[in-house]
Amino acid sequence: MEQRVFGGTGKQVPVLGQGTWQMEEDDREEAIRSLRAGLDLGLTQVDTAELYGHGRVEESIVSEAIAGRREGVFLVSKVMPSNATYAGTLTACERSLKRLRTDWLDCYLLHWPGSHPLAETVRAFEKLVADGKIRSWGVSNFAVSDLDELLTLTKPERIACNQVLYHLEERAIEHAVLPWCEEQGVAVVGYSPFGNGRFPKPQSPGGRVLEAIARAHDATARQVALQFLVRRPSLFAIPKASRVAHLRDNAAAVSLKLSSDELARIDAAFPKGAYSDELPVI
């Protein structure tokens, strides 16, 4: 599995990880098998959050999947903005650690910008690092204005990542967020890379481009899409796969190599759209 430096952490992390949003709605045993299969194939970044299933995904799925192999997992969770006071962040992290049955998180994120002072959240993150409860921290769904505020509170190397919505039909981050993160050395982690039900249909203009490129590589359209979405060194993706077959299909995307012409064809088929300082959040 290809690995890249994860922002200012200096740690090598697989370019493809595993998302767990809405996994509480899936067959639990198959979801656990899928996560374990992903770990076997090198997709060792596992992303979760206290929000997912109101803690059930952490407690009954992820904790079980990583049991006995915690040292080989880059485990990420998130604090909800409503909990992101100084004391609330510390307490939320302790709850996540207990549910996940682990002593530490590799990275802890603020799920999206909220109403509590960002300085208090950052102070709590640094306290958690000092106490060994987390090894790095970052943010999620932060637009450039949010990132600029964050940079007044900390050094860029302290911000491990910005996790954002990123798929072929939603490329808004490429206007300003991605360049900002690349300039500051912050990793960009794309969630819902298949569009959460909005993946291009084979008969659509963009879908036909993906299918043609996939046929040329004996690959699938989803593998082509994933490879496009991690085409730059700053980019990571965390597709969700609650079935082993889907997981294996995702993992195979790493071996796919797209030419500059193929990347250009995909770029033209899925235009970035107009710039907006507000990021979509799902």
The token pair at 198 is 């909005």
191 is catalytic: no
Token pair 């996994």 is at which residue? 23
| Cα 109 to Cα 13, 226, 278, distances in angstroms | 16, 23, 19
Instruction: Enumerate the β-bridge partners of residue 140.
Output: 163
What φ, ψ does residue 189 adopt, rounded to 5°? Answer: -110, 115
| Residues 205-212: contacts with CB under 8 Å, at least 24 apart | 205/269, 206/168, 206/269, 206/270, 209/265, 209/266, 209/269, 210/266, 210/269
Yes or no: say if 193 and 166 are a contact pair by the CB < 8 Å rule. yes
Which run of H or E residues covers position 160?
strand 159-165
Triad 124, 118, 162: Cα angle to 5°: 90
CA gyration radius for the chain?
Answer: 18
- Positions marked active-site: 52
